[in-house]
Every structure is written in C-alpha cells, then in structure tokens.
Structure 1
Amino acid sequence: MNKLVLPMALVVLAALSGCAHHMARHEVINGAAPMARDVVSSVEPGLFTQHTFTASDGTVLPYRLLAPLNPEPGVRYPLILQLHGSGGIGTDNLRQLDRLAKSWAMPEIRARYQAYVLVPQFPVRSANYGPPSPDQYAEHATALVAALELVETFAQQHPVDGARIYALGFSMGGSAAWLAPTLKPNLFAAIMPVSGIAPANSSAELLRDLPIWVMHGNADTENPIFADLRFSKLIEKRGGQRIFFREYDGLDHQLHADLYPGYWWRNWLFEQHRE
C-alpha cells in the first residue's frame, strides 16, 4: 500500500500490532473539515445509466450503474455497492446519487479505479435504529436484502471479480454497509461505513475477519459515534485484526474533506480480496 501523506495532524491512539499495512487501528484526525458541497458538481447524473431490479420478494429497486471506463475483453472488475443516506430515499432513481457516489465518476477517479459501481435507491429505509444511546445499534430493512440480491444477480451476469465486491456508504448508507455482510457473510471483500450506526454485538463474530475501515466524526449528534466505537472495540476484543477506525475530531454529521479524491482509502479498498 502506498504511504499516506495527510494534510492534517494525526494523533495515533492505538499502535498497530501484527496487522497488515502497518497502520494504526484507531487514529484521530485533528482539524477535520467537511467536504465542500460543490466538489462533484460537474458530474452529470447521466454518466450513471438507469435500471430497475425486481427482487424475488417483489421489491422493486431503481438503481444507477457506472461501468468501467475502458473495459477489456476477458477482464473481471471489482464491484462497489454504493449505499445512500436517508436523503436519497424514493423512487426517482436520482436522489441516491450523493457526493460519495458521484465521486466515482470524476474523470481522474474513474480512470484510476476501473470498477462497476452499483447505486440502488431504496423506497424505504435500508437500516433502522432507535434513539441515540451508548448501546444503540442498527437493524436491516427488507430493502437491503433486495439490494444484496441485486449485487449477486449483477455479478453473475457481468464480468465481475467475485473476490472483490465492496460495500460503502454515508449515514444510513454507512449503517447499511455495516449490515450487508451480516446478511451475506461470504459476499464482500471489505466494507467502509462512514458515519453510520453499527450492528448489534451478536454480529461481531460474523465480521471479525472482514477488512473494515470505519470513519466517523466525534461531534456527530445525528448518528453519534458511540455505536461504531462499541462495535469496533468488540471486534478487536474478539481477535479481529483487520478493522481500522478513523475518528474526525470536531466533525459533525457530514462527509469529511479527505474522502475526495481519497486515493488513500480507494487504494486500500481495491487491495482487499476475499479468499
């Protein structure tokens, strides 16, 4: 993995011991700033083709697809399940294209990271959770099950590298990214939940050996950081060696500036392979 050069100070809270890539498992970013609203304003939604998927239970999911820029015959490509926040709920097949989703279509990113990017739109919440508390946890909704069926069906019908399927998202999408491998433990090579709510403790064993990079602002009052800290610490306590936590000091419920262009996390993601 390339050495990471960050434009802000890092305070390392826990040293890495016996973990791949020689990075801290938990780091705090001081001076964190939110991602600018116009950072991907030049991305046209039309770059993502429009489709509809009907799951076996009858759930209808509109979705957008960003295909590899220059696909080569005989080559199989990674697949990214990009999960939207609650602001994207609907059926217009447009609102789910948030900044994180659109960032994959930026010219330099699309050229550098050849992949299929699936962006389903949920007609209802994909993850549910109760009032904030130290014991708060997320539970999946039926719509998330349909999205995972979409991933499996798409991977069977296209040249997808089955060992390199990833899930990521922000807010509700971050919670859904946490939950996805609890529903399909052998599907994902890695997940990246951003500012979400982690699952219940009972799911820790399922995710113990999965590469996970958690990102969360510690001033988040909408999805407080407690749940992510609770679950991440539990995975480590159970012997998990592949979970990393990046805590943004003073950042509220927003995407952070270093997500774009974000070569550091995209490089990490694309290095992960399911055995």
Structure 2
Amino acid sequence: MTLSVHNSSSELTVTPEMISAAGYEALTFTGRNGDTLPYRRLVSNADLPGQFSLMIFFHGAGSVGEDNFLQMRIPGPPFARYMKNHRLKTVLLFPQCRANCRWVDVPWGDLSHDLPEKPSRHMTLAMELLQSAISEFQPDPGKIYAGGISMGGYGAWDIVSRMPETFSAILAICGGADVKQAPKLRHLRVCDCHGALDTVVPTSRSRDMVKALREAGCGHILYRELPEAAHNAWDPAFADETALDFVFDEPAG
C-alpha cells in the first residue's frame, strides 16, 4: 500500500487473516439490477436474547477496490474489539466501493453540496444491502446506525438523508453533508469528528452541519474537533471508545 492523505500507517499492520479471524465474513451482495457489491459482515453475539442492533459503515477513498479487505483496515479492529468488550448483539456491514467510483458523486473540497437527486451506483447497492439485512436480521428499529470516514462520511450523511426514518444515529468522520437535510435528521444521535487542520475535506463541512442540526432542534450531538489532526481524524476518533459509546448508546466506562 502506498501511503497518501487517505491512509494512515496504522493500517499497514492489519492483514486479511486478522480480519477473518475477528469474525468478519467476506460476502457479495447482488442488487436488483444484477450489479454486485463486495462487503464484510460481522454478526456479533447472536446467542444473546433480544433484537440485534445494526450498523452500515462506509470506507474512505484510500480503501476502494474489489478485494473485500481494504475497507476493513481502519474500522475492523476497533469495531470487533468493541463488540467483544461490550457483548453487543449487533450486525455490522462494511461494503466496498470500486476504484474510480464514490459513495456520493460530489467534490470533496467544496464548501457545500446539494443532495444529488439520485443515489450513486454504489450507494444504491448499499441501500439495497441494508434493506436486505434488515429483512434478514429484524433489528430493533430504534438501533439502526450509519457511519463512515471521509468519502464514507459523505456516504453516511447521504444514506441517512435518503432514509431518515430508518436510522437513529450516525458516526461521521471528516465527511460532509447537505445542511438543508438537517430538519429531517434532528431525531438522530450525531457523533461528528473532524480534524481542525484538514485540507482535504474542509473542517467547515462538519461545523456547518452540526450548526444546522442544532438550529433544527437536534439535541443529541457529540462534536469532536481535533485540534492536532489534519485529514486523518479516524485514528484519534477510534483511539478510545467515546464515539462508539455515543452511537451505540452505551454507558461510558
């Protein structure tokens, strides 16, 4: 792997064998039009009583491809560790976007964007994947979450904007949203993390969305602007369990 602004050196230590050993299944979803989407799935603590929670998580531009591995290097270890430590009955979905494609077809450096009229090719597949998983696992309707990093942060905001009634929380790391969608997202628990020194996705993208959500009446926001971080806000965001505690609504401990 060649390091770029979209990667971090910590990813070099993660191998496909580690991801498989952590319980992440390598699967392929086939959409209604026959298009396919590689994804990893973790079904955690299925033996516990009660309903599952469910999260779909979108990777950043440094993890595009079709190997069904690169998208796991950043979130795979912390999510598996968190599910084990907290014994959460959860289904986690990690789709992978192909090279030269995006979860949301908008420029990353712009100071704002409008929600595209139609979802992108890969977002369409991700939405169908989510609906299929909901049908299969019947999760608690109040415990369905979206998350993402950078390009995937845009993806997380995009999917909750298109399916607001489906989600109850979002974890957006150095992404961007259409601020005009804030009124229909005010019911969400929102954890937003962004580096104050980010020159790839302007920090104002998170500041503006958080401001719009607060003005819309959203009362459950955790905004972490990391003063020492540039674009890599994911390493500090996952350095402790604060973000995942907030999203999964777990008591801090």
Common topology (TM > 0.5):
yes
Structure 1: state its 5+ residue gaps. 1-33
SS at match of 1:235: helix
Selected match of 2:91 from 116, 123, 136: 116
Tell whether 2:125 aligns with 1:146.
Answer: yes
Equivalences, count: 236
State the secondary structure of the residue aligned to 2:218.
Answer: coil
Contact 1:40 1:102 in 2 (8 A): no
Distance change >3 Å, CA 132–CA 255, structure 1 → 2: closer
Distance 1:260 1:230 in 2: 23
Are 2:57 and 2:93, in contact at CA under 8 Å, matched by a contact in 1?
A: yes
1:243 paired with 2:217, answer no
TM-score in terms of structure 2 length: 0.82
Amino acid at match of 2:30: T
Alpha-carbon distance between aligned partners in 1 of 2:135 and 2:200, rounded to the nearest angstrom: 37
More helix by share: 2
Identity %: 25
Look up the match of 2:103: 126
Distance 1:184 1:135 in 2: 21
Task: Trace 1:41-80 onto structure 2 (pairs within 5 A).
Answer: 41=14, 44-46=18-20, 47-68=23-44, 70-72=45-47, 74-80=49-55
Per-residue CA deviations over 1:201-231 (Å, capped at 9, x if unaligned) read 3312221222111110011011111222122
Matched letter for residue 95 of structure 2 = P
C-alpha separation in 2, matches of 1:65 and 1:206: 29
Runs of 4+ residues over 6 Å off in structure 1: none
Greater strand proportion: 1
**Residue 236 to residue 40, structure 1, CA distance change in 2 (3 Å):** farther
User: Match of 1:25?
Assistant: none
2:207 is paired with a residue whose SS is: helix
With the length of structure 1 as denominator, give the TM-score of the two structures: 0.76
Rg: which structure is higher? Answer: 1
Is contact 1:175-1:197 (8 Å) kept? yes
Q: CA–CA distance in 1 between the matches of 2:126 and 2:202?
A: 26
* Structure 1 pair 112–39 and aligned structure 2 pair: CA distance change class (3 A): farther
Q: Deviations over 1:74-124 (max 9, x none)?
A: 532211111111122222211111312332123x64242422111111222
Would you say the 8 A contact 1:145–1:183 is kept in 2? no
Quote how far apart the aligned CAs of 1:134 are: 3.3
